[in-house]
Amino acid sequence: MDPELRALLRRLLLPVYLPTMLYAGGAAAIIPVIPLVGLRLGMSVPQVALLGTLAGVLTVIGPIPTGRLVHRVGERSALILGGLVAIVSIIACLVAAMAATGTWRLLLFAAAILVMSVGDLTWDLGRQTYLADEVPAQLRARAMSLFGGMMRVGRIIGPLVGAGVIALFGAPAAFVVHLVAACLSLVLVTRYVTPHRLVAPGRGPADSPAPASRREVLTPILLVGTAALVLTAARTNRDLLLPLVGHYYGYHESLVSLVFAVASAAELVLVLPAGTVMDRYGRAAVLVPCLAVMGIAFAITPIARTVGGFFLFGGLLALGNGLGAGINKTLSADVTPAVGRARWMGLWNSVSGAGSLVGPAMVSVISAVSTVVTASVATGVLGLVGAGWAAWWLPRLVPRTRRSRPPAT
């Protein structure tokens, strides 16, 4: 490993990477519990779905005001604020879940989930901006890929710990797992994240001339962000369609879970290689094959009618998704200027995050008039179109990062 990269990763372990893994693990632990607790408190299935939709809408419209907040108070203060909001929300969920009676429980639970989404946005954008400012441009992709890798590790460990705790103490105990993880993350951030400061010369886009106009900033955010939107839609639909396709072809839940587990492990293997390729050969060298492979996987969904085909379907989706480890956050740092980065990064997150609504909406509409397999194939077409879009715009709007060279003696 590059000594400069090793030193950087060591410096960022406690302020960024470890809190990221802890918080992602805690958040993942409560994902399967939220609808179950909602139903137990008296929500109907449509109401639970509506709560999830509202949380999804917040992830699209929320990053813009959140970016302004991070810009105003600085990354460290935003991280602490976001962590505190999340912790209070988790406690409120616990109170609602454990209370004996009262309709107030349902209202408190729903409000806490939505407020928790706001805390998550502040937490995520603060870390993303902090990392973008701390990492030199020539190491950015590898650092961001590891950032995404830590989130993936958390999303594997969290549900495993959550499952054990739930088996012993019941569904509300999953919120205790998230509470402990969030508190530990906040302690690390408070202790090790340095206060907001100006970007040092030679770091990231700061060593380039400042953009002359808003248009020069908006153009790459919107055009490159469209490719990121397609990627988010494909990733969201992967999680949605893999179990739905399995159900369509009559596979047992245990087989679907096994495919998920194998796919998650395969993605982790590609985290550092993806960052290395991005730093050496440019962002298009990763995003284009990522979208293309996922597009092909969705397009050949009918092969999943056999068990071997279903494993191949899940494996190709994992390969494509793993190739894109860290690409979204890397591009967010590439296309946003160092001055006022948090505000522009908030806009980027809104554009790219819209895919989390576009993808499921497409599945809902198409599957209503046809089948879930048709919806999956349509997602594949979208992914292939996105690959072509990325192949055209990324080389023009995101220049290849120069490799770092030792100083002349």
Residue 352: pLDDT band by 50, 70, 90 thresholds?
Answer: very high
pLDDT at 15: 93
CA atoms of 377 and 304, how far apart (whole Å) = 12
48 vs 392, residue with greater confidence: 392
pLDDT digits (tens, 9 = 90+) for 291-339: 999 999 999 999 999 999 999 999 999 999 988 888 998 999 899 888 8
Task: For residue 195, give the 3-state DSSP assignment.
Answer: coil
Average pLDDT over residues 262-279: 83
Residue 209: pLDDT band by 50, 70, 90 thresholds?
Answer: very low
Predicted confidence (pLDDT) at residue 210 exceeds the cutoff of 80: no
pLDDT digits (tens, 9 = 90+) for 278-300: 988 999 999 999 999 999 999 99
Torsion-angle region of 306 (φ positive above 0: left; ψ -120 to 50: alpha; else: beta): beta
pLDDT at 206: 42
Residue 1: pLDDT band by 50, 70, 90 thresholds?
Answer: low
Using CA atoms, how far residue 86 sits from 13, 81, 116, 175, 180, in Å, is 22, 9, 5, 11, 12
CA atoms of 285 and 295, how far apart (whole Å) = 16
259 vs 223, residue with greater confidence: 223
pLDDT digits (tens, 9 = 90+) for 33-63: 888 888 888 888 778 868 877 888 888 899 9
Residue 205: pLDDT band by 50, 70, 90 thresholds?
Answer: very low
pLDDT digits (tens, 9 = 90+) for 131-173: 888 888 888 888 888 888 888 888 888 888 888 888 888 888 9
pLDDT at 400: 59
Using CA atoms, how far residue 398 sits from 35, 223, 281, 349, 361, in Å, is 41, 11, 12, 17, 30
Residues in the chain: 409
Q: Which pTM value belongs to this model?
A: 0.81
Average pLDDT, the chain: 86
CA atoms of 406 and 409, how far apart (whole Å) = 9
